[in-house]
Structure 1
Amino acid sequence: TSNEHNGFDWVVFLGTGVWFFWSLVLLSLFWILAIYMSLLLCLEVRIFILFSQILILLVVGICSFFFWLLFTYWKERWLTIGLSLQVFAPYIHLGSISMMVMVAWPVAFYVIHLEGEAKIRRYKITSNERRRNKMCNMITKLRALQVAVVLPFFLILLCLYVVPWGNHSPCIQEKDKLGPKPSFFGHRGAPMLGPENTMMSFEKAVEEGAFGLESDVHISMDRVPFLMHDYDLRRTTNIREVLPNASLKHPGFFGWYFLSTLNAGKWFSHSWVKPFYHMKPLSEADREKASKQKIPKFMELLKLAQREKKLVIFDLNVPPRQHPARSAYIQIAVREILDSQIEQHLIIWLPGSQREYVRSRAPGFQHIGRLFTIEQLTKQNITRINVDYKRLFYNGLREYKAANININLYVINEPWLFSLAWCSRIQSVTTDNIQVLNKINHPYYFMVSWLSRLFFHIWLGDLRTWVTISAKSCHLLPVKGAPANQLTATEPIFLISVEQVDWVEPTAFNRKQLNFRDCLDFFVS
């Protein structure tokens, strides 16, 4: 899913130090190689066969390596496939059924053609032993071809019939049971409209109607809380131009005076590689404003939230070892919040350390937890959790909803994922794409339940028809042991006439005019 592209690009950046759309590069490369190998197999190209074999082995090896990485380190990413099926499965099923209906007629006519060929070959058998064996082999091949065509078709059809039993989609429900639209937390502000974790980004999020603002907080060497996500300054500042030898240094080991001199916007406004591949071009005014952004203090975000009456949720990063504030970073953050004079109910406290101290100093903070058990949340008096959206795959977090625990999902950027969260009655989501998601007034791919019931009855009718046809086909099978050169009582021959097969002996069967019932029985069988 494209919802994970930015995260993948960030992980590759940590290893390479180069920001690029690595996810798109890999996907495009794999698509090109897959198409190339498919053409080789279909066209049976023998030119450069050694090169092609090496390329195929290389592609298989690379794909196996990446699958191993996904299964080992990112195995939870596979849950996105399950979530996508919860949304798209009903529509994929309807489309597949329609396609199978259209394919059924060509398959049926082709099988009938093979049946006619087999009958012709069977009646053509003579007393010549060698020719008889050759004809028998040809009949066997025709029968095998029939099985090769019909068996996969019926297996796919059977799977499509079984799919509705295991399909559960939150987007299939009555309109009056649809929950309210989830609220939005701007993930590092509005990072598609301004440089992440800058005041411009947070102001853009407020303009787009954000319910709350999400950020990441570090503590400087002189104990000043500031906003920064990464564990170095390479990606979002000009540290490589100012102090290249210290570009890999943890941002917490710098003083605030030096940090305040760094530019935190040119990477966003003037770089030819944007942080998101589908973000819109900036206006000239926004480009100029973005190029002048600096690293903001935590206090600046709190002042903005107080003025606009927005909630604030933040990750408080633990200072590295040998940092002077490592043992007191919780106290520093709480003091900064209290000094800002912001209403305490606007603060959503996420850090799990020293909650009792935080409650004693600021009893008005709203505490939010991770994916703990309900017993742990109840014991800590927490009524809100902050969860990765992929956890929605497990029963839709139903037990937490039953316990009246509010759920915030992160990070949701795609409309279909937001629609799934809406249909699942999620209270809020954290997003990079607030300017798009906020314009959605009704969940995508929503299906009222009466349509699903109608579809279910149609499915039952199709299932009964399939069983009836199968039983009829078994009933109309030729009688076992009948002579090869004679017709059984139920064997249709309307495709064959004596004039077409002059080698048939007149005594084998008498030419007759078939009625409509005979033709119908043939098609059914």
Structure 2
Amino acid sequence: MKLTVYGKTYIEKAIHYKVLFTCDYIELYLKTVLILLVVGICSFFFWLLFTYWKERWLTIGLSLQVFAPYIHLGSISMMVMVAWPVAFYVIHLEGEAKIRRYKITSNERRRNKMCNMITKLRALQVAVVLPFFLILLCLYVVPWGNHSPCIQEKDKLGPKPSFFGHRGAPMLGPENTMMSFEKAVEEGAFGLESDVQISYDKVPFLMHDYNLRRTTNIMEVLPNASLRNPTVFYWDFLSTLNAGRWFSHSWIRPFYHMKPLSEADREKASKQKIPKLMELLKLAQREKKLVIFDLNAPPPRHPARYSYIHLVVSEILDSQIEQHLIAWLPGSERDYIKDRAPGFQHVGTFYTLEELAKQNITRINVDYKRLYYNGLREYKAANISINLYIINEPWLFSLAWCSRIQSVTTDNIQVLNKINHPYYFMTPNFYILMWILLDCASAVFIVAIFYFHW
């Protein structure tokens, strides 16, 4: 009976341990699956962010060039506030370690247990204090490696960049209409930027999109053809479409920061039509404004498919505009254009310096995010004028100004033109003074906080 009891006890223990082992195994398996699932989901979301938000990351990098000095000074102030809970926790751990040290007895096992606990408490103290002071040390010395274009001497600041009105002034009037270009002129634009397409009967007109749905009333007039390319229509039809009601009467504003239109402007906008290129050229000639445009090639089988550049050049020359007011951006057939219209100012994109020199181009038109890489230093050193697009935010315009950029293309000319000095501008001496004062003050406060808790 005793053996049976012992045997039964042994079997029960074996079953008990087997159940525990099985539960531990299942728990470990579930934790592994959960970790892999979390890693997979995080990896997927990071892939999405880096794939579809690539442009946003570049903008964040640019913003650091402007805000880094302020983030640095603000981070030191934040570390002073964080020092209070860190000091409280570290001193609390020190108190625990002292109490356990006093409780150590002669019992070897108990002594070892107490020593292990004290060691863990010390390790926890180091794990809390060491990162805190390492981060603080980095913040104290980070200005030595910090470069911000907006930290410079006042006498080295370049002139304020000029403005190209992007499709006119699209926050004040419907884009690519005469009202929009007139508003840009009123706001002091240096040049007017647009997009040129060719109608089926070879009339150059102003339109950005590859269909007419967004900026005209074609859905009311000819809904079945609303997705067709604008160049497949004759000018007689295009000229009848309304190109402003979408802007003036829509409850969705085209731009978030756009101010409400006055009643007169609302009425004027609602009557806008698609303009010819000739109308823009006459306005530019009258107001002595530069004209720059993207020229879209007509689709295959279009009557002007292979002659659209010659057609547009002839239109420009027929308008009698002064040739130096044309900033020619399209890259095709430059030799023909230089021969036919030698006074045009040729504008490149991100060509190499050798290509620019070969084609005698002294101005480039590039995406503002290129500033993120090297500030376009090579082009500035070669005396190449730089135009950046699309600059709408005051901080971004301030960065372009501090970087000695000559001109910007903007939707927000009415705001940027009122900026008389770059935002977030600091002289090096002022920044160094603030840095040293804040370092000293924060060190005194942090020492005082630790001393108080001790």
TM range (shorter): 0.7 to 0.9
The answer as to whether partners of 1:183 and 1:428 remain within 8 angstroms in 2 is: yes
Question: How far off its partner does 1:361 sit?
Answer: 1.1
Task: For residue 353 of structure 1, report the CA deviation from its aligned partner.
Answer: 0.4
Alpha-carbon distance between aligned partners in 1 of 2:375 and 2:352, rounded to the nearest angstrom: 15
**Alignment correspondent of 1:8:** none
Q: 1:127 Cα shift?
A: 3.0
Give 2:281's aligned residue: 302
Alignment of 1:166-177 (within 5 A): 166-177=145-156
Look up the SS of the partner of 1:407 in the other structure: strand
Comparing 278-287 and 183-192, the one that deviates more: 278-287
**What residue number does 2:248 align with?**
269
Deviation digits for residues 436-473 of structure 1 (CA, Å, limit 9, x no counterpart): 0000000000001211333565689799x89xx9xxxx
Distance 1:331 1:74, change over 3 A: farther
| Distance change in 2, residues 1:365/1:520 (3 Å) | closer
Q: Tell me which of 322, 330, 353 is aligned to 1:343.
A: 322
Q: Distance in 2 between matches of 1:451 and 1:520?
A: 28
Question: What amino acid maps onto 2:190 in structure 1?
Answer: F
Name the CA shift for 1:156/1:287 in 2 (closer, same or farther; >3 Å).
Answer: same
- Structure 2 residue aligned with 1:481: none
User: What's the TM-score once normalised by structure 2's chain length?
Assistant: 0.85
User: 1:70, 1:77 within 8 Å by CA — same for their partners in 2?
Assistant: no
Query: Which whole-Å deviations, capped at 9, do the CAs of 1:363-390 have from their partners, x for residues lacking one?
Result: 1111110011111101100000001001
Q: Partners of 1:299 and 1:427 in 2: how far apart?
A: 28
Are 1:369 and 2:348 an aligned pair?
yes
SS at match of 1:372: coil
> 2:70, 2:251 → 1: CA distance?
39
**Residues in 2 aligned to 1:188 and 1:58: alpha-carbon distance in whole angstroms:** 46
SS at match of 2:256: coil
Match of 2:303?
Answer: 324
Output one character per residue of 1:470-501: Cα deviation in whole Å (capped at 9) or x when no partner.
xxxxxxxxxxxxxxxxxxxxxxxxxxxxxxxx
* Structure 2 contact 84–449 (Cα < 8 Å) conserved: no
**Contact conserved, 2:91 with 2:453, CA < 8 A, in 1?**
no
Call closer, same or farther: CA 1:245–1:60 in 2, change over 3 Å.
farther
Of 135, 156, 159 in structure 1, the residue corresponding to residue 135 of structure 2 is 156
After superposition, the CA RMSD in angstroms is 2.9
In the alignment, does 2:419 pair up with 1:440? Answer: yes
1:391 aligns with 2:370: yes
Query: Is 2:379 the counterpart of 1:408?
Result: no
Q: Does 1:237 align with 2:248?
A: no
Please tell me the residue identity of whatever aligns with 2:128.
V
Which residue is equivalent to 2:65?
86
Shift in Å at residue 143 of structure 1?
2.5
1:96 maps to 2:59: no
CA contact (8 A) 1:190 1:196 kept: yes
2:332 to 345, 350, 353: 353
Q: Which runs of 5+ in 2 are unaligned?
A: 1-33
Look up the SS of the partner of 2:408 in the other structure: strand
* Cα deviations by residue, 1:212-245 (Å, 9 ceiling, x for unpaired): 1000000010000000011111111111111111
Please point out which of 261, 264, 280 is paired with 1:282.
Answer: 261
State whether residues 198 and 308 of structure 2, in contact with CA within 8 Å, keep that contact through their aligned partners in structure 1. yes
Identity %: 84
Secondary structure of 2:400's aligned partner: helix
2-structure distance, mates of 1:387, 1:121? 67
Cα distance change, pair 361–440 in 1 and its aligned pair in 2 (3 A): same
Aligned in 2, Cα 1:166/1:521: closer, same or farther, shift over 3 Å?
A: closer
Question: 1:5-58: per-residue Cα shift (whole Å, max 9, x none)?
Answer: xxxxxxxxxxxxxxxxxxxxxxxxxxxxxxxxxxxxxxxxxxxxxxxxx9xx89
Q: 1:58 to 1:256 in 2, by over 3 A?
A: farther
CA distance in 1, matches of 2:113, 2:334: 86
SS in structure 1 at match of 2:172: coil
Is the 8 Å Cα contact of residues 387 and 410 (structure 1) preserved in structure 2? Answer: yes
Q: Which AA in structure 2 matches 1:356?
A: D
Identify the residue that residue 420 of structure 1 maps to in structure 2. 399
TM-aligned CA deviation for residue 362 of structure 1: 0.8
> For residue 293 of structure 1, what is the amino acid of its counterpart?
Q
Q: CA deviation at 1:152?
A: 2.8
Quickly say closer, same or farther: Cα 1:414–1:135, change in 2 above 3 A: same
**2:448 paired with 1:454:** no
Distance (whole Å) between structure 1 residues aligned to residue 205 and residue 237 of structure 2: 12
Question: 1:162 deviation in Å?
Answer: 4.8
Contact preservation (8 Å) 1:238, 1:263: yes
Contact 1:77 1:390 in 2 (8 A): no
Deviation at 1:346, TM superposition (A): 0.7
CA offset digits 1:75-116 (Å, max 9, x no partner): 344221211110000000001011212332442343223212
Q: Is the 8 A contact 1:391 1:397 kept in 2?
A: yes
| Partner residue, 2:102 | 123
Moved more, 147-156 or 357-366: 147-156
Unaligned regions of 5+ residues in structure 1, if any? 1-53, 470-518
Q: Report the AA paired with residue 246 of structure 2.
A: W
How many residues are matched?
Answer: 418
Q: CA deviation at 1:167?
A: 1.8
Give the drift of 1:520.
Answer: 13
Give the Cα–Cα distance (whole angstroms) in 1 for the partners of residues 182 and 197 of structure 2.
21
Contact conserved, 1:227 with 1:297, CA < 8 A, in 2?
yes
- Aligned partners of 1:309 and 1:59: how far apart in 2? 60
> How far has the Cα of 1:425 moved from its partner?
0.4
Alpha-carbon displacement from aligned partner over 1:251-309 (angstroms, at most 9, x marks no partner) = 11111111111111111111111111221111111111111111111111111111111
Deviation at 1:431, TM superposition (A): 0.2
CA contact (8 A) 2:73 2:435 kept: no
Assess, with a 3 A threshold, how the Cα gap between structure 1 residues 98 and 359 changes in structure 2: closer, same or farther: same
Task: Kindly state the Cα deviation for residue 66 of structure 1 after the two structures are TM-superposed.
Answer: 5.9
Number of the residue aligned with 1:215: 194
